[in-house]
Chains A and B, each alone.
Chain A
Amino acid sequence: MESIYADIQYQDVPVEKKQRLFDEVKADMRWETQLYGCYECGICVAACPSARFYDFSPRVFAQIMAREDVHAFYELLNDSVWDCSQCFSCTRCPRQNNPGGIITIMREVAVNNGLQSAKDALKAYSRIIYKIMSTGTQVAPDMLQPDFFPDWGPDVQQVSDNLDVWRRMVPPETMHTTELAWDVSEKTRLELYMIWKLTGNLEMIEQIDEGIFMILEEVMEELLEEHGYDIDDLDSVMDD
Chain B
Amino acid sequence: MESNPILVVGGGPAGLEAARGAGELGYPVLVVEKTPVLGGSPILAPYAALTPDMEDAETAMKRVIDAVEADPLVELRTGTTVTAAEGELPELSVTLAGPDGEEVVKVGAVILCTGFQHFDPGRETQMYGYYEYDDVITLVDIERMLKDERVVRPSTGEPPKRLCFVQCVGSRDRQIGNEWCSKVCCGIACKEAIEIKELLPSCQVFVFYIDMRMYGFWEDQIYWKAQEEHKVQFIRGIVTEITKRGDEVVIKGEDTTMGRPVEVAMDVVVLSVGMEPSDGSREMAEIFGLPLESHGFIETIDGPLNTVSTSKPGFYAAGAAVGPADLEDSISMAGAAVMKAAGFLRKQLVGA
Within 8 A of B (CB), among A164-207: none
Flag whether B130 is at the interface (Cβ < 8 A).
Answer: no
B311 to chain A, nearest CB (A): 41
> Which residues on the B side are within 8 Å of A6 (C-beta)?
260-264
A40/B236 contact (C-beta < 8 A), A4-B262, A60-B258, A66-B227 known: yes
| Cβ contact within 8 Å between A67 and B233 | yes
> Which residues on the A side are within 8 Å of B261 (C-beta)?
5-7
Flag whether B224 is at the interface (Cβ < 8 A).
Answer: yes
| Cβ contact within 8 Å between A4 and B264 | yes
A67, B236: Cα distance in complex, Å? 12
Flag whether A18 is at the interface (Cβ < 8 A).
Answer: no
> Which residues on the A side are within 8 Å of B257 (C-beta)?
40, 42, 59, 63
> Which residues on the B side are within 8 Å of A59 (C-beta)?
257
A1, B202: Cα distance in complex, Å? 12
A1/B162 contact (C-beta < 8 A), A63-B257, A68-B231 known: yes
Flag whether B228 is at the interface (Cβ < 8 A).
Answer: yes
> Which residues on the A side are within 8 Å of B263 (C-beta)?
4, 6
Flag whether A2 is at the interface (Cβ < 8 A).
Answer: yes
Most A Cβ at <10 Å: residue of B235, B258, B261, B264? B258
Considering only CB atoms, which chain B residue lies closest to A67 in the complex? B233
Within 8 A of B (CB), among A50-89: 59-60, 63, 66-68
Contact with B264, one of A2, A42, A60 (Cβ below 8 angstroms): A2
> Which residues on the B side are within 8 Å of A10 (C-beta)?
none
B166 to chain A, nearest CB (A): 14
Most A Cβ at <10 Å: residue of B224, B255, B257, B263? B257
Give B121-135 as 1s and 0s: 1 = Cβ < 8 Å from A's Cβ atoms.
Answer: 000000000000000
Chain B contact surface mostly: strand
Flag whether B161 is at the interface (Cβ < 8 A).
Answer: yes
A6, B235: Cα distance in complex, Å? 15
> Which residues on the A side are within 8 Å of B315 (C-beta)?
none
| Cβ contact within 8 Å between A37 and B258 | no
Considering only CB atoms, which chain B residue lies closest to A3 in the complex? B264
A48 to chain B, nearest CB (A): 15
Considering only CB atoms, which chain A residue lies closest to B212 in the complex? A39
Flag whether B278 is at the interface (Cβ < 8 A).
Answer: no
Flag whether B47 is at the interface (Cβ < 8 A).
Answer: no
| Cβ contact within 8 Å between A37 and B255 | no
Flag whether B204 is at the interface (Cβ < 8 A).
Answer: yes
Considering only CB atoms, which chain A residue lies closest to B226 in the complex? A37
A1 to chain B, nearest CB (A): 7
Flag whether B165 is at the interface (Cβ < 8 A).
Answer: no
Flag whether A149 is at the interface (Cβ < 8 A).
Answer: no
A66, B230: Cα distance in complex, Å? 11
A152, B264: Cα distance in complex, Å? 55
Considering only CB atoms, which chain A residue lies closest to B261 in the complex? A6
A4/B236 contact (C-beta < 8 A), A36-B224, A59-B257 known: no
Flag whether B206 is at the interface (Cβ < 8 A).
Answer: yes
A63/B258 contact (C-beta < 8 A), A4-B264, A40-B236, A68-B231 known: yes
> Which residues on the A side are within 8 Å of B228 (C-beta)?
36-37
Can you identify 9 A-B contacts, CB atoms within 8 angstroms? Answer: A4-B262, A4-B264, A5-B255, A37-B224, A37-B234, A40-B236, A63-B258, A66-B227, A66-B231
Other contacts beyond A4-B255, A5-B260, A67-B233: 19, CB < 8 A:
A1-B161, A3-B264, A4-B206, A4-B235, A4-B262, A4-B263, A5-B255, A5-B261, A7-B260, A36-B227, A37-B228, A42-B257, A59-B257, A60-B258, A63-B257, A66-B227, A66-B231, A68-B231, A95-B224
Q: Return the 10 tightest CB-CB contacts between A and B, nearest first.
A: A37-B227, A6-B263, A40-B257, A6-B261, A4-B264, A37-B228, A5-B260, A4-B262, A36-B228, A67-B233
